[in-house]
Amino acid sequence: MKIKKFLLAFLIVLVITLGLSSCKKNKTIKVATNAQFAPFEYYDGDEIKGFDIDLIREYGKYANVDVEIINMDFDAALISVSTKKADLAIAGITSNETRKKILSFSNPYYSADQVVIVRSNSKYSSLANEEDLLEALSHDSAKIGCQRGTTGQYYIEGDTEWGFAGIKNATCKMYDDGPLAVKALSDGKIDAVIIDSAPAKLYAKSIGGVTIVDNVVLTSEEYAVAINLEDTELLNSINEFIDSFKNGDSYNKLMLTYFGNEDILKNNKVFSDENIKSIFKGLGNTFLITFVAFIIGILVGTLVSLANGIQSNRWYAYLAKGVAKTYVALFRGTPIMVQLLIIYYVIFRFFEGNAIWIAMLAFGLNSGAYVSEIIRGGINSVGTGQMEAARSLGLPYHTVMRRVILPQGIKNCLPSLGNEFISLIKETSVVGFIGAFDLTLAFRKIANATFDYTTAYLVMGLVYFVIVFLITICLNYLERRLQHDRIK
């Protein structure tokens, strides 16, 4: 009886504890951003900070929700919200009628201006009004840089829906982020950069040889939080927060923190402790994606190759061959970036896990198409007499393939499989577009935080070279070990 009472009391306590813990657990909202737009969002070591980030964290406190920040390219941030991969995006996003066709926007939380950055010693730096500057840029058929997908791009190219006539004769040079555009300007590759005024001040101070053209404001705009069209509840909640927050002291303090201080980018060392940790984290993710994708590629490629080699007149043989050939044609005929986007944003639209898992699957399927052709070549390199001899002994087709043909074929195609593995390592550099953190993204983060693109990118190239060099040595050793049947 005592045991029953004890168990009953234990169950009651357990239920109450679980109930209380579930009540305390906050909902998590996923926030997409592009952390290359200081002072709104930027990396400080391994942490994403900025005006937008602090603002959305204040909303988390207001709404009693946890905030998960996901860094990705600017275009990808907008796509992730429209496809419900993220709950909202905040990245200095301009609200206008064009974007409102695919996204909802909150009430504005910041007013921004578009300004022009030029080299300090160029003739454009002395032009003090907008009309003269635009006329000079047009007359010289200038190359003007901007961040891809931003107001600057539409202003240069012209867009009727945005209300921009464009800069005549000018060539728009688009970059993944603002700092890259300003660095290209400093290096003399382009003639000017059009970008928002707040980051322009930081970039002009941190990157030498450039300046903002005085008294020239091309256009004014308002930043807002981007939300999925269907999520009206979240939209109303954020609007209530912004309206109340902008009228309080906390908003003014936030403005002073990020717009009254041009020294917020303190991490100016490429090889700081935080940056080294980021490099190793990115390296680990790169190897993880590559190894898992290669295993998937080997398995899928072997099955596809065997399906293509089925010797039968049955209907299922023709079906298997048709599926295999279609699979190979699709994955060999489209770029890996397109496949990655389709798999992540369309096929696995409602997948809420880590983007690294999707990257493994996407690269594995892509690799499988190439591996299947590599294995097919290896199988064809085995003499037909091997198959005939084994079949004459009464062995079934699948046993011959598994025990005789495949072991020899894989040995023959080992160099090509090694090349495929090396290609996978380098191809994973695009996973940042879906928010996965890899080696390339780690160095991009460091370059944008330190503005030392030369050192960061040279070291990145060196790291990739060392990785490939060591793998090549290992593959050569393995190949020699397997060639024991050759006369030395």
pTM above 0.85, yes or no: no
| Top-confidence residue, 403 or 204 | 204
Task: Output b/e per residue, 419-456; b: 16+ Cβ within 10 A.
Answer: ebbbbbbebbbbbbbbbbbbbbbbbbbbbbbbbbbeeb
Long-range contacts from 243-249, C-beta under 8 angstroms, 24+ separation: 243/107, 244/62, 245/55, 245/58, 245/59, 245/62, 245/109, 246/109
One-letter amino acid at 245 equals F
pLDDT at 2: 47
Q: What does the pLDDT look like over 454-466, one tens digit per residue?
A: 889 999 999 999 9
> 43-52, 182-191, 283-292 — which is least confidently predicted?
43-52
pLDDT above 90 (res 105):
yes
pLDDT at 58: 94
CB 245 within 8 A of CB 62: yes
Residue 287 to residue 459: CA distance in whole angstroms: 18
Cα 470–Cα 475–Cα 480 angle in degrees, nearest 5 = 130
Task: Output b/e per residue, 203-225; b: 16+ Cβ within 10 A.
Answer: bbebbeebbbbeebebbebebbb
Quote the mean pLDDT of the chain.
85
pLDDT at 485: 54
pLDDT grade for 191, boundaries at 50, 70 and 90? very high
Closest listed residue to residue 280, CA positions, set 427, 439, 454, 467: 439
pLDDT above 80 (res 472):
yes
pLDDT at 262: 60
Any residues with CB less than 8 A from the CB of 379 and at least 6 apart, and which?
305, 309, 405, 406, 409
pLDDT above 60 (res 21):
no
pLDDT at 6: 46
pLDDT above 70 (res 109):
yes
Residue 412 to residue 428: CA distance in whole angstroms: 26
pLDDT-above-70 percentage for the chain:
91
Residue 77 to residue 85: CA distance in whole angstroms: 9
| Top-confidence residue, 326 or 404 | 326
pLDDT above 80 (res 14):
no
CB 126 within 8 A of CB 136: no
Q: What does the pLDDT look like over 371-387, one tens digit per residue?
A: 988 888 777 777 777 77
pLDDT-above-90 percentage for the chain:
42
| CA-derived radius of gyration, the chain | 28
Q: Does residue 39 have a cis peptide bond before it, meaning omega lies within 30 degrees of 0?
A: yes
pLDDT at 20: 45
| Conformational region of residue 185, where left means phi above 0, alpha means psi within -120 to 50, and beta covers everything else | alpha
Q: What is the mean pLDDT of residues 269-275?
A: 81
CA 162 to chain centre: 27
pLDDT grade for 484, boundaries at 50, 70 and 90? low
Q: Domains in the chain and their CATH numbers?
A: 26-109+224-259 (3.40.190.10), 111-223 (3.40.190.10), 273-482 (1.10.3720.10)
